[in-house]
Chain A
């Protein structure tokens, strides 16, 4: 594998850090200038990430060492196919979210907007850091930075509930990462003497240094420590974090934060342990069953939630476990499905969160039961919602179908019948909690208390354009991913090739 040395990964991270600084300096004095920095940074970041794609498609790897602390311990970036998919998704969706955020905070006249945009920019920097990191140390570094700088975003409203939610958020994420993940990192270093990601698995190469029992303990510690992946029973922070403003929930809790979690799980499974080792230890299957439980239970809980954002949160929990499930199957199709699902779910879920925010801005409604007939008032928003929901369910003309297809294939390859049943059941459950919303929005009569103003009933009353356009775009994105998945599939194959070594 050819290695290119280039500072582009560092550049992609620096862009939004510099932007954060500029935003801070500009402050409230000139809002337009401040927002300009955000947009500029997001576009530049995406371009930088995009500029690395051709190399990746040629099968090369981009490396950049920032500093080495001691032998086997360094802050280093290595952009490979797996990282670039995550990087592309996150940086692309940041552009859209930036527009949406501007629309959202301005129409709600949110306070502390500067802090909001600064934290957002830093969070994106850190997300890129995780995506491009070359070793577990760098990953952990940026993983923690994400936690810290999203805390102000979750607590943004500063109401007692927001503070409470944010505290829970922090307790879960920081607590488990220090208590379990860091310990696992230490143990890995102790066993292997380095923390670099290896395609055949770091610990696989250092098997002679540790007993199986120790390896199993390390694996459990990792899985318990990467709470951002919201696997049950450590999922409690995600619904709690829904107190955040909707764009935050959208980007961070459907894309950056939670995807960082599953991305790190994928990294740990593939590059720290390696397929061989996990198969021998039988840990892949165990992880898969854990993921299955999460998928089903979270979906069932989602059915009972009336608050729209909470329902979406539980849906996220269940969808995240799809990614974990795919990679835990340890089969080529399963891994492809998981990698695809990172992107596809991002597009679908961000659309859904955007619509939830748009509904809130336009009507101040937050509960599912209040949404009767809202489709007539906000046709574009609810149209995009439908697209997103269908993609979540995995209905054919939408992206969600592709990842589910690969996941099912993976389950068959692994000869795991229960997994297939779980996939089918969760599809039904997904339909069960999304379709009633769509139905109510378009076909039910609006609730009677809104009749007092009959003239406005049939009028279209959308959220601001800055919000509607992004959500329509991401909705269409979910559709486009079905039509043209080859680009992502190619990259996923390269990533797979590195790990499996096969076709």
Chain B
């Protein structure tokens, strides 16, 4: 009975909790955290349950209120959704744990509001991944975005302006998506994705359908910060509170990538997105540009969070590159990279937040000699950074492996070279930081006195409630690398669209 309604629970429970958190905030601020934790845990367990069901019995379809698909809202969960649900809810769990201390310091007055919005944001993201209805997806996309604007607006001095700009651009993106839905509705009279997929092939030559596809792609590209529509991201993410930037960085863009895959390969058939129009080729070139642009600008940044923001832009490029390879290897790499990147970005942003929490350091210069003060945090940063660079045995290497193989199988040598070149650039980006963290040249002046008299600097390690989530992501990075073969075998191979 419970198992049957899991797809509803995963959405409805956080929704109710979000309301209750707000109410409970009037009496006790402490309770808010635990209620949010409860909501996240329940969603995570529910998503695990869904994944388990999908692995055993294939695609689930859940009809809200029992209405038949083309009229009612249908939740369709195949391997790709189930996988995304587990990623999103799984990464929320460490972030929410981490948020306790960080929010108490950064937003002491707004704890209930924060957790209300946070729970809503998670619900929106989960909803986007679970729904099988194109219009419902728009609504949930906007729920996630609006809560995102509000959360980002809670950040530092410049945050409201950054958030406002993000709001303007983000809403334009959502409107484009909505227009795409409208065009498809005019042409087919349906909003259900599966239904659309059946009706559309007959209309592939129609200009309206083509326009709809273009609107979809532009809208989603804005939402997932795909170069050159990424301009809102660095400002918005770098001025947000640390928890918020960590959370949106590791989920928003990935969910955007998921929507792109859905539209390109479920609503439209691969034959439309690949053969009829040179979409994938164009995306390949733009993705290559995104990787280069992101990494090069990351090198130029001094503020750590901002640097990571540009890395995100490059990572989005990786995912799109995998999609654009349009073969099994590349697609596997893209889906694997969605997972890996969620963990890598979570790890890096959480570490940067923890360092800010403890020392107030924001720029690379201030990271000097941090290893002596916060050894565990610094080591975690190193692991995350190596994973972004793609050094084995971290998980970043394995997704890059499939991505490069995908481009080689597609005989796109330029793209393969771009992937490797951007790895090199990200190596430069991160070793600049790591060097400052581990070997601070100017920090130790008493060098000649030797280690005996070297005053051991006091450790100022981050609190346990921050370290544990960081370690969880580290464990994720290492384990996902080792078990990537099993993950592909169990889940990802079923997500590859037919005809690849």
Contacts and interface: CB of A to CB of B under 8 A. Distances in A.
A and B, one complex?
A: yes
Interface of A: 28, 67-70, 73, 108-113, 140-141, 144-145, 148, 152, 155, 158-160, 162-163, 166-167, 170, 174-175, 178-179, 182-183, 186-187, 189-190
A306 B386 CA distance: 38
Q: Which of A70, A109, A170 has the most CB of B within 10 A?
A: A70
Contact of A159 (B398, B441, B452): B441
5 contacts: A70-B489, A158-B441, A178-B420, A178-B424, A190-B405
Given A170-B431, A175-B427, A186-B416, A69 B484 contact: yes
Q: Which of B393, B444, B485, B489 has the most CB of A within 10 A?
A: B485
Contacts of A144: 391-392
Nearest to B484: A69
Contacts of A166: 439
Contacts of B390: 178
Given A152-B438, A179-B424, A109 B450 contact: yes
Contacts of B431: 167, 170
A166 B484 CA distance: 32
Contacts, number: 86
Given A70-B488, A112-B451, A187-B408, A163 B420 contact: no
Interface in B411-464: 416-417, 420-421, 423-424, 427, 431, 435, 438-441, 444, 447, 450-452, 454, 456
Contacts of B477: none
B447 A178 contact: no
B22 interface: no
B420 A179 contact: yes
B408 A190 contact: yes
A351 B431 CA distance: 33
A178 B454 CA distance: 38
Contacts of B398: 69
Interface residues of B, number: 36
Given A68-B485, A155-B439, A178-B390, 11 more contacts: A28-B456, A73-B485, A108-B450, A112-B451, A141-B392, A152-B438, A158-B439, A159-B441, A179-B424, A183-B417, A189-B405
Interface in B447-494: 447, 450-452, 454, 456, 482, 484-485, 488-489
Interface in B161-181: none
B482 A163 contact: no
Contacts of B386: 148
B452 A109 contact: yes
A174 B428 CA distance: 10
B65 to A, nearest CB: 43
Given A158-B440, A163-B439, A109 B451 contact: yes
B266 interface: no
Contact of A183 (B393, B420, B489): B420
A67 B482 contact: yes
B404 interface: yes
Given A68-B485, A113-B451, A167-B431, A178 B423 contact: yes
A117 B416 CA distance: 38
B59 interface: no
Interface in B384-405: 386, 390-393, 398, 401, 404-405
Nearest to A74: B485
B439 A111 contact: no
B447 A158 contact: yes
B112 to A, nearest CB: 42
Contacts of A111: 444, 447, 450-451, 454
Contacts of A152: 438-439
A158 B424 contact: no
Nearest to A183: B420
Closest 8 CB pairs of A and B: A109-B450, A69-B485, A111-B451, A141-B392, A158-B439, A190-B408, A155-B439, A186-B404
Nearest to B438: A152
Q: Which of B450, B451, B452, B489 has the most CB of A within 10 A?
A: B451
A14 B452 CA distance: 32
B342 to A, nearest CB: 20
Given A159-B441, A183-B420, A190 B409 contact: yes
Contact of A182 (B420, B439, B454): B420
A158 B489 CA distance: 45
A499 B374 CA distance: 51
B392 A186 contact: no
Nearest to A147: B391
A183 B403 CA distance: 12
A69 B416 CA distance: 21
B482 A141 contact: no
Contacts of B408: 186-187, 190
Contacts of A140: 392
Contacts of A112: 451
A145 B420 contact: no
